[in-house]
Amino acid sequence: MKKLSSLLVVFILALSAVHAQELRCNVSVSASKIQGVNRNVFRTMQADLYEFMNNRKWTDHVYDIDERIECNIFIQLDEMISSDEFKGSMTVQLRRPVFNSTYETTLLNIKDKEFRVRYEEFQPMDFNITSNRDNLTNIMAFYAYIIIGMDYDSFAPEGGTEYFQKAQQIVNNSQSSIYAGWKAYESERNRYWLAENLLNRSYSGFRQCIYRYHRLGLDLMSDKLEDGRSEIAESLRLLQRVYRNRPNIYLFPIFFDAKADELVNIFSGSYTSEKDRVLSILNEIDPSNGSKYEKIKQDNTFNLDNE
């Protein structure tokens, strides 16, 4: 009987090792600007947030270890408001592997400047999607769902809808929060507008672009370089249509903060007529990076295994 029990424990441990959680999230907390406080609290916060993001089950799907979604969260704490309240910013980055290559493409690179939270060392980090209990876990869970939704969108048309809806539910629950970042009137670029834009049918071309750019474009380029690049060029037309209706939505800086350099690398190896078409679109919908896009005119081969 003891031997059977031991074998059962080994089986359960092996099974849990094979079926991993969804995220492989690197979490970093920096508080170099805050002086005169025990630094252990920041190390404990980092460890707690790492466990919260990586050890929680965010979906009903089964993941293998090598399928986990690669992401980074960097928290910069600038001010200590009280013994357990901190203010700063949070940067969220999401990477996605490209099929049949060693290249990883950036899907998200967002800086959230409205990061004001309470954290008490050694207290459990509770989260409930149906209530507004804690701003810190609400923010972390919100971006966990945004990360998963964006990753799913890049593999299937509007595949991330369920997770964007969960992110929006957190926004809705936070409308009575005393903390900024959750309400429409506070800013045009915050968590409220990120969830709203992603689920707004008027901007569905953005999500169509995410799928076409990655699944039909980048994932094809290792085998059919020109075909994949052509799909990426066509995906930009979808963004262009959205831009002509609503040029100032939050989705555009989010996309180009992640993709501007990559687009230069992809299309600098293209032929002249395609370069001209892409440059015309990019200069219209992302004029702030116009000088960067001039590099597309140069000739440079995009190699998925050496980027």
- For residues 137 and 287, give the distance between their C-alpha atoms in angstroms, rounded to a whole number: 36
8 Å CB contact between 228 and 212? no
Phi-psi region of 100 (alpha: psi -120 to 50; beta: other; left: phi over 0): left
Q: Is 25 left (phi over 0), alpha (psi -120 to 50) or beta?
A: beta
SS3 content of the chain, % helix, strand, coil (to 5): 55, 20, 30
Q: What is the pLDDT of residue 18?
A: 46
Strand partners, 73: 27, 92
pLDDT digits (tens, 9 = 90+) for 53-83: 999 999 998 888 888 999 999 999 999 999 9
Instruction: Using pLDDT thresholds of 50, 70 and 90, give the confidence band for residue 303.
Output: confident
Position 20 confidence tier, pLDDT thresholds 50, 70, 90: low
Judging by DSSP bridges, how do beta strands 85-97 and 63-64 pair with one another?
Answer: unpaired
Q: Residues of the chain with pLDDT > 70: what percent?
A: 93
Q: 185-220: per-residue pLDDT in tens?
A: 999 999 999 999 999 999 999 999 999 999 999 999
**Does the pLDDT at position 7 exceed 50?**
no
| C-alpha span between 19 and 65 (Å, rounded) | 7
Tokens of 74: 């960097």
Find tokens 């094809």 and name the residue. Answer: 220
Q: Integer distance in angstroms from the first to the last C-alpha of the chain?
A: 55
Residue 288's alpha-carbon distances to 35, 113, 241, 294, 301, in angstroms, are 37, 21, 18, 12, 25
- List the one residue out of 85, 72, 74 whose CA is nearest residue 34: 85
- Summarised one tens digit per residue, pLDDT across range 99-120 is 999 999 999 999 999 999 999 9
pLDDT of residue 299: 78
